[in-house]
Amino acid sequence: MIDHLTLSSANYEKSKNFYQAALAPLGYKLVKEFGSDVAGFGIVDRLDFWLANDNQKTQPIFHLAFAAETRIQVDEFYRAALAAGGRDNGAPGLREKHGPTYYAAFVYDLDGQNIEAVCRK
């Protein structure tokens, strides 16, 4: 059901170091980093926990991605979320920077949290 989760941090470097230490006993390690803004943690090459720099407190504190089995489900999620009162944060489509088959849609929920549905097939 859950594909990945992102937390924001007001002190990215300290938080990155904290999670590297705290998650190491669980087999997690820092696998990928985008500049000094985003760190991806995982086991082997499966990144399912992300940390984002938000020292300006402008982004949602929380991002949750739900796993979808098909791209049609991603499309349906997007339409249903908007119909239920969510706000657009990225229409369904390929996000090739995340991988060649990463098909996702993003919506802000009623509290402004960034939720996503993603199909990796």
Q: Model confidence over 73-102: pLDDT tens digits?
A: 999 999 999 998 889 999 999 999 889 999
Helix or strand or coil: residue 94? strand
How many angstroms separate the CA atoms of 8 and 52, rounded?
A: 5
- pLDDT tens per residue across span 43-52: 877 889 999 8
Place of tokens 């859950």: 2
Domains delineated in the chain: 1-59 (3.10.180.10), 74-121 (3.10.180.10)
Would you state the structure tokens that stand for residue 106, as one six-digit string? Answer: 């993003």
Amino acid at 102: Y
Helix or strand or coil: residue 87? strand
pLDDT at 60 over 80: no
Helix or strand or coil: residue 21? helix
pTM: 0.73
Calculate Rg over the CA atoms of the chain. Answer: 15
